[in-house]
């Protein structure tokens, strides 16, 4: 049984307390697969390669934060391709009509996934970044609010949409993306992230939508 969270109860930022574990890498996570596929997933060498390529920077951008830096992965085209391929293998054949990428790391993986599965790409941007008419969704942070926007008309009613981001910590931004797309009439299929806290690897859901991650982020010591 996976864990489910209500979007209204989730905030984007953690409190940053605790001393970070400094091993310099993210941790490979077992993908969300059926029991029959578990052995194959555990044996997939691409997961460890992806994990090893992500640099973890302690206490950035402020003390207590473990920053998962994906720029080191992007410098290794073979590993970058492996990450994209693993997402594509999961979503090809699922009738995905649109991939919605969250600013900014969702813009790195989202377009590549969209092209490979034959879907359009929709950027979900911070306020005042998109010209023309937009639809907006405001969400709560630890110390304020933020907002996602997309173009009016980007989604057709009942289109199947995959949401893509680089990292999920508490899920606040993903919740906002789900709400925004559903208000526009989309059928959100799943949220896909390269990196996630360990709780997100085991069929975790946000407002009933599955969250799929490739690699676990480091946790803080309590």
Q: What is the DSSP string of 84-145?
A: HHHHHHHHTTS---EEEEETTTHHHHHHHHHHHHT-EEEEEB-TT-S-S-EEEEEEEETTEE
Domain 94-216 has CATH 3.40.50.2020: yes
Q: Which sequence positions are flagged as catalytic?
A: 105, 142
User: What confidence tens digit (pLDDT) does each residue in 88-101 have?
Assistant: 999 999 999 999 99
Q: Per-residue pLDDT for 199 more than 90?
A: no
User: What confidence tens digit (pLDDT) does each residue in 139-159 have?
Assistant: 998 778 999 999 999 999 999
Beta bridge partners, 162, equal 99, 190
Q: Per-residue pLDDT for 58 more than 70?
A: yes
- In total, the chain counts a number of residues equal to 222
Would you place residue 169 in the very low, low, confident or very high pLDDT band (cuts 50, 70, 90)? confident
On average, the pLDDT of the chain sits at 84
Show Cβ contacts of residue 190 under 8 Å, excluding neighbours closer than 6 positions.
91, 162, 163, 209, 210, 211, 212
What pLDDT sits at residue 4?
Answer: 53
As a whole number, mean pLDDT of residues 45-64 equals: 93
Q: Which two tokens stand for residue 106?
A: 């969702």
What pLDDT sits at residue 220?
Answer: 40
Nearest to residue 103, comparing CAs of 74, 124, 130, 129?
A: 124
As a whole number, mean pLDDT of residues 180-188 equals: 98
What pLDDT sits at residue 88?
Answer: 99
More confident residue, 43 or 145: 145
* pTM assigned to the model: 0.83
Q: Per-residue pLDDT for 2 more than 60?
A: no
Would you place residue 41 in the very low, low, confident or very high pLDDT band (cuts 50, 70, 90)? very low
What pLDDT sits at residue 104?
Answer: 94
What pLDDT sits at residue 34?
Answer: 39
What pLDDT sits at residue 129?
Answer: 98
């Amino acid at each position: 049984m996976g864990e489910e969270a209500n979007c209204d109860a989730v905030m984007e930022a953690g409190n940053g307390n605790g001393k970070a574990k400094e091993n310099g890498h993210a941790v490979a996570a077992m993908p969300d697969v059926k029991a029959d596929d578990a052995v194959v997933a555990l044996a997939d060498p691409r997961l460890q390669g992806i994990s090893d390529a992500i640099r973890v920077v302690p206490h950035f951008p402020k003390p207590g934060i473990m920053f998962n830096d994906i720029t080191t992965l992007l410098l290794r085209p073979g590993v970058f391709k492996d990450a994209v391929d693993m997402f594509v293998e999961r979503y090809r054949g699922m009738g995905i009509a649109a991939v919605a990428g969250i600013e900014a790391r969702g813009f790195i993986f989202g377009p590549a996934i969209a092209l490979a599965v034959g879907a359009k790409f929709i950027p979900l941007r911070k306020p005042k970044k998109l010209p023309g008419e937009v639809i907006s969704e405001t969400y709560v942070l630890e110390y304020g609010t933020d907002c996602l926007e997309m173009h009016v008309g980007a989604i057709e009613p009942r289109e199947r949409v995959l949401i893509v981001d680089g990292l999920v910590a508490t899920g606040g931004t993903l919740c906002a993306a789900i709400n925004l797309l559903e208000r526009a009439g989309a059928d959100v299929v799943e949220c896909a992230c390269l990196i996630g806290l360990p709780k997100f690897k085991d069929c975790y859901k946000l407002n009933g939508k599955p969250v799929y991650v490739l690699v676990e982020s480091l946790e803080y010591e309590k």
